[in-house]
């Protein structure tokens, strides 16, 4: 296994062949992490909106501020 991962002597085709079987697992893990992050961000947004309304802001203003708050958690903007 150590010999397979030695990047100095490995040609790109062989390295590609080693990485392809691992790609679905990596995609699944990153997808799971992304969904967990979005769920936590949405939960935080709901709490943020709830607290704004509790402090006396009207629902329309609270919704607008919550949307701005959640823009920071939009990972697709940072990736693409």
Q: At what angle do helices 59-71 and 23-54 cross, to 10 degrees?
A: 150
Is residue 59 within 8 Å of 53, Cβ to Cβ?
yes
- What pLDDT, on a 0 to 100 scale, did the predictor assign at position 78? 76
- What pLDDT, on a 0 to 100 scale, did the predictor assign at position 6? 54
Question: What residue has token string 């693409």?
Answer: 80
List the pLDDT tens digit at each of the 80 positions of the chain: 455 555 566 788 888 888 899 899 989 999 999 899 999 999 999 999 999 999 999 999 999 999 999 998 887 777 76
Q: Residue 62: how many CB atoms within 10 A of its CB?
A: 19
CA dist 49 → 53, 59, 61 (Å): 6, 8, 9
- What pLDDT, on a 0 to 100 scale, did the predictor assign at position 5? 54
């Amino acid at each position: 296994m150590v010999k397979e991962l030695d990047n100095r002597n490995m040609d790109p085709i062989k390295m590609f062949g080693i990485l392809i079987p691992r790609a679905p697992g990596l995609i699944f893990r990153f997808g799971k992490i992304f969904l967990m992050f979005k769920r936590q961000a949405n939960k935080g947004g709901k709490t943020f909106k709830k607290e704004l309304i509790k402090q006396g802001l009207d629902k329309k203003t609270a919704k607008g501020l919550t949307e701005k708050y959640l823009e920071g958690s939009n990972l697709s903007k940072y990736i693409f």
